[in-house]
C-alpha cells in the first residue's frame, strides 16, 4: 500500500500535460534529426529558433523542478514508510505481548482449575473416610449391643432369639477382622468369642441334661429342643459335630455296659440282640 501511494505521487510529479497528441520526445523510434527538421523545415522557420530554444529551456527547467520535487517527496514518503513500518512493528510487538499475557492468564486459570480439582478430590476422600468411620462406629456400637443381648438371651435359654442374633454378631464382627491390631477392637472380638463359647458350653450341658433322664431334662424350658437345635445350627458345623458326637457317646454308654467284652452279651451269638437294642433306642428318641 505504501509503495503504491509512492508510485501515484511520482505519476503526479511527472504529469507534463494531458494533450491528446503524444509528445514526439516519448516516441520509441525518436530521431533528433527528424525532429529538428520537422521543427525547422526551411530557412524562414529558423526565425523561431530563439523562441523554440526558450521553450525547451523552460521545459527543461520545469522537468528539473519536478525531479527535485519528486526526490523531496520520495524522501518524505520513505521517512513516512519507515515510520509506518516502525509503527507496524510496535503494533505487532504489542500484539505479541497481549498474546503472552493471555497465555499466562490461561496457564494461571489451568493451574487454578487443577488446584480446585485437587482440593475437591481431597474433600471427597475426606468425606469417604468420614463416612467409613461413622459406619464403622455404628457397627461397633451394634456389635457391643448385640453381644450383650446374646449373653442375656443365652443365660435365659431363649435359644430361638439367640440363634437369629448369632448370625448378626458374626456378620458385624466380620467387618472388624482387619482391625485386630487395634487393642479395643481385639478386646471386643475376644469378648465375642467368649460369649459364643459360653453359649456352646451351656448348650452342651443342656444336651447332657436331656440325656440324663426325665428328672434332669425337666429343668429345661418347653420347646427347648427345636430352639436349641436352631442355635446349634447357627453356631456352625463344628458345634453340630460336637453335639452329635456327645449325644452318640452318651447313648452308647449303656451299649458298652451291656455288650462290651468281657460282658456276657459280648459274643457274636447275641448280635441280633444288639441290633434290637439299637433299634429300640432309635425309636425312643424318635418318639
| 271 belongs to a structural domain | no
CA–CA separation, 150 vs 235, rounded Å?
A: 12
Domain with 188, as residue range(s), is: 57-192
| 176 belongs to a structural domain | yes
For the stretch 72-117, pLDDT in tens is: 887 778 788 888 888 888 888 888 888 988 988 888 888 888 888 8
For the stretch 206-225, pLDDT in tens is: 888 877 654 455 566 667 78
Could you tell me if 151 and 198 are in contact, meaning their C-beta atoms sit under 8 angstroms apart? yes
Provide the 3-class DSSP secondary structure of residue 194. helix
Say how far residue 117 (Cα) sits from the centre of its chain: 10
| 232 belongs to a structural domain | no
| 104 belongs to a structural domain | yes
How many distinct structural domains can be found in the chain?
1
What is the Cβ-side half-sphere exposure of residue 220, based on CA atoms within 13 angstroms?
24
* The pLDDT of residue 193: 93
Strands (E) in the chain, as ranges, are: none
| 182 belongs to a structural domain | yes
Residue 16 has pLDDT above 90, yes or no: no
Q: What is the DSSP letter of 287?
A: -
78: which 3 cell numbers? Answer: 520513505
Residue 12 has pLDDT above 70, yes or no: no
With 0.75 as the threshold, say if the pTM is over it: no
- By C-alpha distance, which of 257, 248, 255, 244 is closest to 278? 255
Q: What is the DSSP letter of 69?
A: H
CA–CA separation, 143 vs 279, rounded Å?
A: 46
- Average pLDDT score over the chain: 81
What is the DSSP secondary-structure string of 12-28? HHT-----SSPPGGG-T
| 234 belongs to a structural domain | no
| 14 belongs to a structural domain | no
pLDDT band for position 33 (50/70/90)? confident
CA–CA separation, 260 vs 257, rounded Å?
A: 6
pLDDT band for position 21 (50/70/90)? low
**Where do we find the cell 475437591?**
120
Mean predicted confidence (pLDDT) in 175-181: 86
| 89 belongs to a structural domain | yes
What is the signed CA dihedral for 72, 75, 77, 82, rounded to 10 degrees? -160
Amino acid at each position: 500500500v505504501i509503495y503504491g501511494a509512492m508510485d501515484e505521487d511520482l505519476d503526479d510529479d511527472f504529469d507534463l500535460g494531458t494533450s491528446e497528441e503524444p509528445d514526439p520526445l516519448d516516441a520509441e523510434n525518436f530521431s533528433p534529426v527528424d525532429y529538428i527538421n520537422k521543427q525547422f523545415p526551411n530557412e524562414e522557420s529558423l526565425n523561431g529558433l530563439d523562441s523554440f530554444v526558450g521553450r525547451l529551456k523552460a521545459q527543461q527547467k520545469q522537468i528539473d523542478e519536478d525531479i527535485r520535487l519528486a526526490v523531496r517527496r520520495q524522501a518524505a514518503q520513505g521517512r513516512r514508510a519507515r515510520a509506518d513500518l516502525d509503527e507496524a512493528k510496535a503494533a505487532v510487538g504489542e500484539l505479541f505481548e497481549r498474546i503472552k499475557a493471555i497465555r499466562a492468564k490461561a496457564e494461571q486459570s489451568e493451574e487454578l482449575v487443577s488446584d480446585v480439582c485437587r482440593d475437591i478430590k481431597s474433600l471427597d476422600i475426606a468425606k469417604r473416610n468420614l463416612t467409613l468411620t461413622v459406619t464403622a462406629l455404628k457397627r461397633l456400637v451394634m456389635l457391643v449391643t448385640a453381644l450383650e443381648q446374646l449373653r442375656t438371651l443365652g443365660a435365659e435359654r431363649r435359644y430361638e432369639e439367640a440363634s437369629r442374633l448369632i448370625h448378626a454378631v458374626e456378620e458385624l464382627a466380620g467387618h472388624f477382622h482387619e482391625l485386630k491390631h487395634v487393642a479395643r477392637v481385639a478386646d471386643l472380638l475376644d469378648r465375642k468369642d467368649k460369649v459364643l463359647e459360653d453359649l456352646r458350653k451351656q448348650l452342651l450341658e443342656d444336651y447332657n441334661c436331656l440325656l440324663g433322664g426325665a428328672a434332669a431334662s425337666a429343668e429345661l424350658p418347653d420347646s427347648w429342643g427345636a430352639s436349641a437345635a436352631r442355635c446349634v445350627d447357627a453356631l456352625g458345623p463344628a458345634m453340630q459335630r460336637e453335639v452329635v458326637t456327645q449325644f452318640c457317646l452318651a447313648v452308647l454308654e449303656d451299649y458298652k455296659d451291656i455288650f462290651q467284652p468281657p460282658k456276657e452279651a459280648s459274643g457274636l451269638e447275641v448280635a441280633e440282640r444288639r441290633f434290637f437294642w439299637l433299634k429300640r433306642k432309635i425309636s425312643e428318641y424318635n418318639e
